Amino acid sequence: MRYLPLTDADRAQMLGAIGVASIDELFADVPESARLTRPLELPDHASEIEVARAIGELARKNLGTTATPSFLGAGAYRHHIPASVDHLIQRGEFLTSYTPYQPEISQGTLQVLFEFQTQVALLTGMEVANASMYDGATACGEAVLMARRVTRRGKAVLSGTLHPHYREVVETLSRFGRTEVESLDPDIRGSEDIAARIDQETACVVLQNPGVFGGLRDLAPIAEACHAAGALLVAVVTEVVSLGALEPPGAMGADIVAGEGQSLGNPMSFGGPTVGLLACRQKHVRQMPGRLCGETVDEEGRRGFVLTLATREQHIRREKATSNICTNSGLCALAFAIHLSLLGEEGLRRLAAHNHAAALELCERLSSLEGVELVNETFFNEFTIRLPGPAAELVERLAGVGILAGVPASRLYPHHPDLAPLLLVAATELTSEAEIEALVEGLAEVLR
Amino acid sequence: MTARAGLEGRSTGNRALMLEEPLIFEQDAPGRSGVDFAPLTLDEDRLGGLARRAPVGLPGLSEPEVVRHFTRLSQKNYGIDSGLFPLGSCTMKHNPRLNEKLARLEGLADLHPLQPASTVQGVLELFDQLSHWLSTLTGMPALALSPGAGAHGELCGMMTIRTALEDRGDARKRVLVPESAHGTNPATAAALGYEVDALPANARGRVDSAELKARLDSDVAALMITNPSTCGLFEDEIIEIAEAVHAVGGYVYLDGANFNALVGRVRPGDLGVDAMHINLHKTFSTPHGGGGPGSGPVALTAELSPFAPFPQLVHDETGFRLVEHGPEAAKSFGRLKGFHGQTGMFIRALAYMLSHGGDGLRQVSEDAVLAANYVLARTKDSLSPAFEGGCMHECLFDDTFLEGTGVTTHDFSKALIDEGYHPMTVYFPLVVHGALLVEPTESESKASLDLFIETLRTLAAKAKAGEEALFHEAPRHAPRRRLNETRAARHPRLRWRANAQAAAAE
């Protein structure tokens, strides 16, 4: 077996040194009734060639988005990942290292986390950010629990612009954590009056921008309403590239930002692993969950980095911790940091502009189709159209001809039949003229 | 270059291959970028007056500079690729590169999570195969794949248990957790609103079953147990313990962090376990990546399976599909994570399992247990084992052997760094004074183990011989000497700022 260095001769010698006759003696503590004496019904070991063939066959049964016109978004986006990102994250010292508990030999990971935290804080317009969460939805769930700790209030109001997966994760965590959640109806046009739902029990209002239907909203008036009532505003960003073009939540008064960082450096990979972003005001940092990296000096006075403020965390505080999170998304955060370092200020601004331009083009072309109605007034790289029939059926028909037309709202809102005609469509820097053409023609065909 | 201006007239601080590297923010040249996009001026936008007003503040670098930056940073890290990484309870085993390659295949890495089911039958089949392997190895019929890491799996498993209890109208208040447990266990129980009842260990380092039975009553929702425990010991009374918990109507949750000691030889389902998470990033070798991503699928009994989270995988006449909402799986406790889980990790773990096969996985556990016992046997006269007898996949020492030397566990671990090793886990589990927890894994050759053993023995001898300074000054050869953690916590600087002085005054 290619991954196992011990030979039978080694094993025999080692058993001798231990002073046992066989390996079975080392498992003597296992109750006899639970010892497996027969091989399990699983195939035997396989070569690289065989394993690559088996997984390759599974891959070929899917319609990948690389060579397919694809307009899916709703929280996962097809973006270009510069070649050097994937090269660098596969350096063994990054890939095969552990959580940096031994800072003297983990300065690589630690400096990356410090840079990542800075990048996330800059992008979101917040003062501090942590070293990552599992994904955007869990970051959002943790943000709500954090708001409860900060305000010592028990109610969260979730906007109808919030991605349903995020809403559901908040609802799950809150139910077990005994937070009351008020989830507003799907808000297609960004017209809900969420400020009216705030009262003296409200810990936070959670609002997504761009919203799940793509629309944009000025958070400032809502932040004001929150603050006037002693509540926090949690802003959610599922498309982090939008922050290259849009006012950051921090500039509009958000107190906590929860986001999904997949768009930078990470493939969609069917939804995971990705990287959750969590940023907040400095004054709330001790209520923040997750790892934090901080700057310090070593014995010789040289700058260095360590994990810090661990008294918030489970391995120190156990049942009194801010969260049970341990492992987070280190390598995905590294990919994010490398991609954003490559882009830089100008690259990010241009990337965002290309995304918006592609969406404008797609919007114009789709709006010109008979039977297609644009729902949004505003958007970044994703918007919603209304079709004459159930969007899911059209999506299925177009998938049959190799076009991934978008996300039917019914996939996210099966219990809202009124939303069935809605289709969420996204465009990015990878969306070509030819892909737009293919979608427009395909849609015209199925609408005919 | 402006960023290096501070180094003018001074030495670089470099030491041959050990290269000092400024922060990326200190290498800015405005206008530079490592990605080419044509400038674009839009005549109109649909941003609704919310266009960004101020710059983000990101530095501009070209691709070669970025590549060099991160390459240099990587060289300050120790990984499994660098050498033996005996971090107990964390299972730092070899990460096969085939798995990396396969996770990046077109048709897998480029799948959008919300594509129509008809276009993702291959990846759903992969979910099914992974579930089948995990189910066969655990002896537990149902799998919930979505949790993002081990601690997330704990949440998932305990939420499943709580929901099952509520479903039978039997809300309970307490969860029993051994004192040796990972901190995530009590944190998980507390996150679900349970009162945590800490169980002491007996003199043999196992859960004290008499004490456990004394605390069992109809208010106990579950026992969260780790087996082998974090002391590296098999809980030999586990079946009896599980029966006692079941007798009062509670559930047994197994923290599967140490499943790598059992795979192919013991099925937790045969031990009376009702729910367990499996750290794919430990047992099934998906890379730790400097702290994730992990993946923590949860194995469940048939009784608990209806309460598992969304999505649930279904295979029917139309093929594979994901149930993402009620009412089809009406008893599900809901959603725990966006989309469907860590697919990229599932691919790597399945490739790992296919490569080893059923036969190889059994050999993996055997070699892991053999290696730990070998280290224990050959160091027991030199270090001080925490408990009598053998161990499973990791061996635990206390700091008795350092008594009177002026050297602490902390110092000892730092001296290992100078010898070219990543230290073992220290001061955990909490039940042992000055704990040193060594997990060599199956990935080490005998020569590698022998050198490590020799190093441990030599260091122990030096400590006993009064060479205190060697330990107190360690590490001397790492990229950094010991770091001032107190300062980091007292004056938290959690990000770079353009004007560091201004930040310090905050």
Do A382 and A328 share a domain, yes or no?
A: no
Tell me the HSE value of A7 on the side-chain side, using a 13 A CA sphere.
Answer: 4
Comparing C-alpha atoms, which of A336, A410, A304, A296 is closest to residue A116?
A336
Helix-helix angle A8-18:B343-379, to 10 degrees:
50
What pLDDT sits at residue B2?
Answer: 42
Which amino acid would we find at residue A401?
V
Which residue in B has a C-alpha nearest to residue A283's C-alpha? B506
- Does the beta carbon of B5 lie under 8 angstroms from any beta carbon of chain A? no
Q: Is residue A18 part of a domain?
A: no
Residue A314 banded pLDDT, cuts 50, 70, 90? confident
CA distance B178 to B230: 10
Contact B118, A284 (CB under 8 A): no
Do A161 and A276 share a domain, yes or no?
A: yes
Using CB atoms, which residue from A58, A100, A247 is nearest to B123?
Answer: A58
Read off the pLDDT of each residue in A71-75 and give the average, rounded to a whole number: 98
pLDDT < 70 regions, chain B: 1-10, 500-506
Boundary-marking domain end, from A317, A339, A361: A339
Do A149 and A245 share a domain, yes or no?
A: yes
- Does the beta carbon of B119 lie under 8 angstroms from any beta carbon of chain A? yes
Cα four-point dihedral sign B466, B469, B472, B474: negative
Contact B312, B322 (CB under 8 A): yes
What pLDDT sits at residue A344?
Answer: 98
- The domain that holds A234 is classified in CATH as 3.40.640.10
Domain of residue A436 covers 344-447
CA distance B61 to B67: 10
Do A308 and A165 share a domain, yes or no?
A: yes
Q: Mutation test of the interface with chain A: which of B50, B63, B195, choosing the one with the most A Cβ atoms within 10 A?
A: B50
CA distance B282 to B260: 7
Do A367 and A332 share a domain, yes or no?
A: no
B267-284 CB burial, b ≥16 within 10 A, e <16: bbbbbbbbbbbbbbbbbb
- Does the beta carbon of A399 lie under 8 angstroms from any beta carbon of chain B? yes
Residues with Cβ within 8 Å of residue B286, at least 6 apart in sequence? B95, B99, B280, B294, B295, B345, B348, B349, B352
CA distances from A124 to A205, A247, A283, B52, B398 (A): 17, 9, 16, 11, 46
Contacts of A72 in chain B (CB under 8 A): 112, 114-115
Q: Is residue A28 part of a domain?
A: no
Contacts of A218 in chain B (CB under 8 A): 48-50
pLDDT higher than threshold 60 for residue A187? yes
Cα of A362 to nearest chain B Cα, Å: 13
Do A260 and A304 share a domain, yes or no?
A: yes
Contacts of A334 in chain B (CB under 8 A): 70, 289-290
Which residues 35-74 in chain B show a CB within 8 A of chain A? Answer: 35, 37-40, 42, 44-61, 63, 66-67, 69-71, 73-74
Do A141 and A207 share a domain, yes or no?
A: yes
Do A419 and A326 share a domain, yes or no?
A: no
- The domain that holds A418 is classified in CATH as 3.90.1150.10
Please give the structure tokens belonging to residue A107.
């300065």
Question: Which own/partner pairs from A20-27 qualify as long-range (CB within 8 Å, at least 24 positions apart)?
Answer: A20/B373, A20/B390, A23/B366, A23/B369, A23/B370, A26/B366, A26/B369, A26/B370, A26/B373, A26/B390, A26/B392, A27/B234, A27/B265, A27/B266, A27/B369
Do A304 and A318 share a domain, yes or no?
A: yes
B111 and A270 in contact by Cβ < 8 A? yes
Boundary-marking domain end, from A297, A313, A339: A339
Q: Is residue A153 part of a domain?
A: yes
What pLDDT sits at residue B502?
Answer: 47
Comparing C-alpha atoms, which of A413, A367, A375 is closest to residue A188?
A375
What pLDDT sits at residue A313?
Answer: 84
Which amino acid would we find at residue A42?
L
Q: All domains of chain B, ordered by start, with CATH? A: 7-35+59-76 (no CATH), 98-353 (3.40.640.10), 362-486 (3.90.1150.10)
Using CB atoms, which residue from B31, B193, B390 is nearest to A178?
Answer: B193
Q: Is residue A182 part of a domain?
A: yes
B370 and A122 in contact by Cβ < 8 A? no
Contact A112, A337 (CB under 8 A): yes
What pLDDT sits at residue B9?
Answer: 57
Read off the pLDDT of each residue in A401-408 and give the average, rounded to a whole number: 98
Using CB atoms, which residue from A6, A122, A282 is nearest to B58?
Answer: A122
Residue A119, phi then psi, degrees to nearest 5:
-60, -45
- Does the beta carbon of A49 lie under 8 angstroms from any beta carbon of chain B? no
- Does the beta carbon of A277 lie under 8 angstroms from any beta carbon of chain B? no
Based on its alpha-carbon atoms, the radius of gyration of chain A, rounded to whole angstroms, reads: 25
Pairs of residues, one from chain A and one from chain B, whose beta carbons lie less than 8 Å apart: 723
Q: Is omega for the bond preceding B385 within 30 degrees of 0, making it cis?
A: no
H helix or E strand, kind and range, residue B132: helix B121-138
Cα of B269 to nearest chain A Cα, Å: 9
**Hey, which residues does A35 pair with through a beta bridge?**
B266
Q: Is residue A224 part of a domain?
A: yes
Cα of B216 to nearest chain A Cα, Å: 20
Mean confidence (pLDDT) of chain A: 97
H helix or E strand, kind and range, residue A266: none
pLDDT tens-digit series, residues A263-310: 999 999 999 999 999 999 999 999 999 999 999 999 999 999 999 998
Map residue A330 onto helix, strand or coil: helix
Do A316 and A404 share a domain, yes or no?
A: no
Do A110 and A252 share a domain, yes or no?
A: yes
Which residue in A has a C-alpha nearest to residue B36's C-alpha? A347
pLDDT tens-digit series, residues B132-177: 999 999 999 999 999 999 999 999 999 999 999 999 999 899 999 9
pLDDT tens-digit series, residues B456-489: 999 999 999 999 999 999 999 999 999 999 999 9
Boundary-marking domain end, from A298, A316, A339: A339
H helix or E strand, kind and range, residue A278: strand A276-280
Do A373 and A334 share a domain, yes or no?
A: no
Contacts of A137 in chain B (CB under 8 A): 335, 337-339
Q: Structural domain tally of chain A? A: 2
